[in-house]
Amino acid sequence: MKTLCLSLGLLLVVACCCDAIPEALQYSTSPVNCCNAFSNTRVPRNKVFSIKKTHNSCMKNGFIVETVKGKLICFDQSFGWAQNLYKEIHNA
């Protein structure tokens, strides 16, 4: 009987861990998006969903803007519009 309880308990723990792993991978902090080319066309503020900096390990540093439709657009880190947008969103 003890073996059965131990086996069921172990199975329950494994099932819980397996369910949590895909969710943890979704919030990974590894560099997923780097930029190879940059846009210099501004996006209307009401079309911007979010903006984030590229990861430090990327060869080219910049900003990644996500539009409300899910499109990702890269901007050079020296592009004034992107700098101002980043400050506006992250300091609000």
**pLDDT score for 56:** 87
Instruction: List the pLDDT tens digit at each of the 92 positions of the chain.
Output: 778 666 666 666 666 555 555 544 444 455 467 999 999 999 999 999 999 999 988 899 999 999 999 999 999 999 999 999 999 998 86
**pLDDT score for 51:** 95
CB 43 within 8 A of CB 20: no
**pLDDT score for 3:** 80
pTM here is 0.63
CB 53 within 8 A of CB 66: no
**pLDDT score for 57:** 87
Helix (H) or strand (E) holding 43: none
The total of structural domains in the chain comes to 1
Query: What CATH number does residue 74 fall under?
Result: 2.40.50.40
| Structural domain that includes position 31 | 2-90
